[in-house]
Amino acid sequence: MKSIVVKTPGGLDNLEVIEQAAPQPEADEVVVKWHATSLNFHDYLVTTGGIPVMNNTIPMSDGAGEIIAVGENADDWKVGDKVMSLFFPNWMDGKASIKKMMFISGETINGYITEQSVVKAKSLTKIPEGYAFAEAATLPCACLTAWRALMVEGNLQAGESVLIEGTGGMSIFALQLAKMAGAKVYATTSSEEKAERLKSLGVEAIVNYRTDERWGKTIARMTKGGVDHVLDVGGGSTMKQSIEAVAIGGNIASIGILGNGRKGEITFPKLFFKQCHLNGLAVGSRVMQEQMVKAIEISGKKPIIDKSFAFDQLADAFRYQETGKHFGKIVLEW
C-alpha cells in the first residue's frame, strides 16, 4: 500500500510516496481503507515545516474511508462501515485536556494520506448518510470547528448574526451552519467574484477587507451595533477588527492564524467595553462530531468543494491552496 510522508525539515518538494505493508488490527482496532482527505491550514504548516514533525510522518488530519478489517472487541464497527477520522483521536467527550489532545492526527501521530491504516475503534465516527467519501473528508476539522464555535460554545440562536472572515473551508461551513440555524450572516472577502458567490449563499452584506482596512467598524455600523458571533481566522492580523465588529456581550471564536497572524495587537479598553466572550478553540471531541453528523443528516446540507486532486498530487493541491483562489474546501480522493 502507498502512503505519502513528510521528510524533514519539510517543504512541498520534500514529500515522498512510499510503499508499506498492509496493516492488521489488534484488539480494539480496525483497519480503514481511506479514500479521501481534505486540506486544512494545519496540514499546510505540517507539510511545509511550519509545524515540525518526525521524519516520515504521514500528514493530513482529515480522512474518510471504509472499514476492511475488525479486531477483537471493536464491536461498534463492521466490515463495510463508512467512517471518518477525528482530529484528536483521544478526545471522546467533556472538556479539552492535555491528555485528550496529546495525539493529533497528521502531526504527533500519522494522518490519512495513506491507502490503509490501523485506527482505534473509538477514534472514528460514521459519515453522514448520502455523503461521498470526498464530501465526508471535509468535515472532521473545518466543519467541526465551525460547529463547535457556533453551536457548542456560542449557543447560536435563530435571528442572531454571524460574521465569517474569508471564504476558506471553515468559514463557508460556518455560513452554512448559521443559515441552517436561522441566523443572519455577514462576511469579509477581497474578491468581487467571491462576494457574488457569498451573496448567492444568503450572506446579508460583504465588506472588502483590502479596500476597507477598518472593516470591523464598517460591520458594526451596518449591523447597528455589531454582530453576535465572530469567527476570527486571522489571529493577530484580524483580531483588532473582529473586536470592533462584535456586539456588546457577543462572542468571538479565535480559531486561526491565517496570513501573518501569529502575533498582533489588541485594544484592551475596547475589549473590556464590549464585554464580549473571547474564546480560543481547536476542533472538538468525538461527541461533538457525532452531534454535527446528526444535524447534517437532518438538514441535508452538502459541503462546497472547490477542487479535487488525486492521491499523488498533494503538493499541487497545497500550491493551489497557496494562491487563495479557492472557495470552500480542497480535497484529494483516490
Would 288 be classed as within a structural domain?
no
d(CA 167, CA 245): 18
| Number of domains, the chain | 2
Would 298 be classed as within a structural domain?
no
Mean per-residue pLDDT for 190-200? Answer: 96
Would 296 be classed as within a structural domain?
no
Query: Do 128 and 236 fall within a single domain?
Result: no
Confidence class for position 207, pLDDT limits 50, 70, 90? very high
Query: Do 222 and 240 fall within a single domain?
Result: yes
Query: Do 247 and 188 fall within a single domain?
Result: yes
Quote the pLDDT of residue 260: 77
Query: Do 191 and 214 fall within a single domain?
Result: yes
Nearest CA to 57 among 104, 111, 101? Answer: 111
**By percentage, how much of the chain surpasses pLDDT 70?**
100
Query: Do 161 and 267 fall within a single domain?
Result: yes
**pTM, to two decimals:** 0.96
Quote the pLDDT of residue 151: 98
Sign of the alpha-carbon dihedral angle for 261, 215, 158, 276: positive
Which residues span the domain enclosing 316?
2-138+303-333
Quote the pLDDT of residue 149: 98
Start-end of H helices in the chain? 41-48, 133-136, 144-147, 169-180, 192-200, 215-222, 239-245, 268-274, 286-299, 314-323
The three three-digit cell numbers of residue 49, written as one number: 515545516
- 29-68 pLDDT, tens digit per residue, is 999 999 999 999 999 999 999 999 999 999 999 999 999 9
Quote the pLDDT of residue 60: 98
- 126-140 pLDDT, tens digit per residue, is 999 999 999 999 999
Strands 161-165 and 227-232: parallel
| pLDDT surpasses 90 at 7 | yes
Q: Tell me the CATH number at 229.
A: 3.40.50.720
Query: Do 129 and 150 fall within a single domain?
Result: no
d(CA 150, CA 176): 11
d(CA 310, CA 333): 6
Would 286 be classed as within a structural domain?
no
d(CA 129, CA 127): 6
Q: Which residue has the cell 488525486?
A: 310
CA 323 to chain centre: 19
Query: Do 12 and 127 fall within a single domain?
Result: yes
The three three-digit cell numbers of residue 109, written as one number: 501521530
- 219-278 pLDDT, tens digit per residue, is 999 999 999 999 999 999 999 999 999 999 999 999 999 877 789 888 899 999 999 999
Would 177 be classed as within a structural domain?
yes
Query: Do 106 and 160 fall within a single domain?
Result: no
Query: Do 263 and 312 fall within a single domain?
Result: no
d(CA 334, CA 314): 12
Query: Do 105 and 196 fall within a single domain?
Result: no
Would 289 be classed as within a structural domain?
no
Q: Tell me the CATH number at 321.
A: 3.90.180.10
d(CA 110, CA 104): 8
- 279-311 pLDDT, tens digit per residue, is 999 999 999 999 999 999 999 999 999 999 999
Would 287 be classed as within a structural domain?
no
The three three-digit cell numbers of residue 170, written as one number: 471553515
Calculate the average pLDDT of the chain.
96
| pLDDT surpasses 80 at 141 | yes
Nearest CA to 87 among 96, 78, 79? Answer: 96
Query: Do 183 and 93 fall within a single domain?
Result: no
Would 186 be classed as within a structural domain?
yes
Query: Do 268 and 158 fall within a single domain?
Result: yes
